[in-house]
Chain A
Amino acid sequence: MTAAPAAEPAIAIAGLRKVYRRGRKETVAVDGLDLVVRRGEVFGLLGPNGAGKTTTVEVCEGLTQPDAGDVRILGRRWGQGEDDALRARLGVCLQETHFQEKATVRETLALFASFYDGGADVDAALDLVGLREKADDRQSQLSGGQRQRLAVATALLGRPDLLFLDEPTTGLDPLSRRQLWEVVRGFRARGGTILLTTHGMDEAQQLCDRVAIVDRGRVLAIGSPAELIRSLGAEHFVDVECTDTSAVGTADLAALPDVAAHELRPARIVLTVRSVHTALAALLALLRERGVGVQGLATRHATLEDVFVRLTGRTLREETTP
């Protein structure tokens, strides 16, 4: 195996395009996507259902043939006679896999372990995902979350350099989710690179070094979670429920100190602010002066979800409709 130059990114995607055709119906799953994942980082693809995350990841894994674009994985391209050598360096957890129903967890792992020439430690993988107690249970006896963890364990077996995790925490309880985050962090600490997809903005925020926000097959924004949130221009939200806002105008809201954006509804005011204490005090003073009663008040820190809403006008839970 010839080591690629250290500067070579783990994944480099340029102008990726993938169209699914069924009869005369065409679905553009990925539409000119560019992306670079550096070595040693946890990179997240964040986007709603149908955004093209799985398609992008599966092109990287060599499972899907792109219609256009250049994809380099660890410095190599698929289909140039080195595929098996490349696969030996990747760990993959697909969005969905049904392992053999009658095989136990340990047997499934042993099968996958046999594929890797360096040998793979089944027990270590079991411990990593916390399935040691279930090692001798058959696939059919596992819960959904346990199956998901088994899928992650198969990805870790070959001591990969690059790990693809397609929605690894979907269906996991909060504790297992945290455990899996630890697995991801441990993998990175040992020098590995991870590309994961998620709809969970908290997951992206807590786990990823960098995130690409994807929608309709394109990258809308790319950067560290903190950078993306900073790009909103303001990092806090003030959300006030009130009796009747007809006495207040949008100009009044815009004139408040430290307000970056405002939204005025019949019984609700939402402000995006740079500083909570100055803006909130001014807002409450304004409402008191106009005789508007306050019924509820909440402030929160901006999240990646807000970045997504700003970029698309939709929430992450709304499906992409191409």
Chain B
Amino acid sequence: MRLRVVVAVARSTFREFWRSPDALFWTYGFPLVMALALGLAFQPGPPPQVPIAVVADADAAALLAAEPRLLVEPLAADAADRALARGRVAASLRRQDGGLVLRADPTRPDAESAVLLVERALRAEPAAPAIAPLRREVEDRPGSRYIDFLIPGLIGLNLLGAGMWGIGFNLVQMRVGKLLRRLAVTPMRRSEFLFGYLLGRCLLVVPESAALVGFGALLWDVPFRGSLLAGLLLVAAGGLAFAGLGVLVASRARTLEGVGGLMNLVQLPMWLLCGTWFDTSRFTGALRWFADLLPLTHVNRALRDVMLEPQGLLDAAPTIAGLCAFAAVCLALALRWFRWQ
């Protein structure tokens, strides 16, 4: 690989991107705006009220209403079930066999607060009947706010988006416009092109990630407790991994629609299952296995570790190495399958 050529390809690619304000906005600007909006929506403040359904029991309802963090909704039994199923309430309380039964969906983030709040409200009144016990698991990370959880996840998600949106369409456009085949008849080596290209398209992930960390720190005091260098290397390795994946996804598609579909196929599971929006560390079985297969899971986990815990470079090293290996595999496959025309 000749560095001169890699740099020339990277420069030309970056310039083309830089001069396309719309592409730039949707790849980098929009996620930033979304992160801000989400941050504002979840910004720390007085804890929100937890909605709870109480089935036909005025006494219990009155009891719970004394707890200011509970939002009590008296409902009929079937309406309560429906509300719970739809997630409109975090839990439902009903009298059954002389005791009170609290039902909650343990996968809902506010189920736990609902249980604790109900327990607290009932403990305040010694005469209250015992609640039927409810199995639940305990959050093992030190009590952090949602925004602390969200910011590293959004950085990870943006790395994924940059690799996909930043590369897929543009690369296929170059194929459709027959620019790739023109490049293929020059003495430019295939690897020089792929490497320079993904550098040019993904250089911006570093400043964007820094901006997200900066916003978080400035607006919501989101900490960065670990090694900055580890964070930087993680972002770079993650950017490389997803750029490699982006090139791989776009390596054979012949139409913009085709590559759009493929990108969605690749992104959707990662959006949902990789712990950007909610904690997925308690997944079990096949879901767990699948989530662990997805690179974003590891990026998010490592970014959270380095931001929220005083971790050093050594702690992040295995993930960084893994991401680089993933990028190498993607690029090797892309190089092999790449369609120049």
Question: What is the interface of chain A, defined by CB distance below 8 A to chain B?
Answer: 61-63, 84-85, 87-88, 90, 92, 94, 96-103, 107-108, 110-112, 114-117, 154, 158
Contacts and interface: CB of A to CB of B under 8 A. Distances in A.
Given A98-B178, A99-B179, A111 B9 contact: yes
Interface in B159-195: 174, 177-179, 181-182, 184-189
A98 B5 CA distance: 20
Contact of B178 (A96, A103, A107, A112): A96
Contacts of B182: 92, 94, 97, 99, 154
Interface stretch (B13-21, B52-60, B269-277, B311-319): B13-21
B179 A88 contact: no
Nearest to B180: A97
Please name the 4 residue pairs, one residue from A and one from B, whose CB atoms are nearest each other, closest first: A98-B177, A114-B8, A102-B19, A88-B187
Contacts of B188: 115
Interface string B44-81: 00000000000000000000000000000000000000
Contact of A97 (B11, B16, B178, B340): B178
Contacts of B189: 84
Contacts of A112: 186
A87 B186 contact: yes
Interface in B274-318: none
B43 interface: no
Interface of B: 2, 4-5, 7-9, 11-12, 15-16, 19-20, 174, 177-179, 181-182, 184-189, 340-341
Q: Which of B4, B7, B19, B186 lies at the interface centre, i.e. has the most chain A CB atoms within 10 A of its CB?
A: B186
B341 A111 contact: no
Nearest to A86: B187
Given A102-B19, A103-B12, A114-B8, A84 B187 contact: yes
A158 B185 CA distance: 12
B16 A103 contact: yes
20 contacts: A61-B185, A63-B181, A63-B340, A63-B341, A84-B187, A85-B187, A87-B186, A94-B178, A94-B181, A94-B182, A97-B182, A101-B16, A103-B16, A107-B12, A110-B12, A111-B9, A114-B4, A115-B8, A115-B186, A158-B186
Contacts of B185: 61-63, 87, 90, 92, 94
Contacts of A87: 185-187
Nearest to B18: A102
Contacts of A114: 4-5, 7-9
A84 B185 CA distance: 9
Contacts of A158: 186-187
A9 B4 CA distance: 34
Contacts of A115: 5, 8, 186-188
A129 to B, nearest CB: 16
A87 B12 CA distance: 21
Contacts of B184: 63
Contacts of A117: 2, 187
A102 B15 CA distance: 8
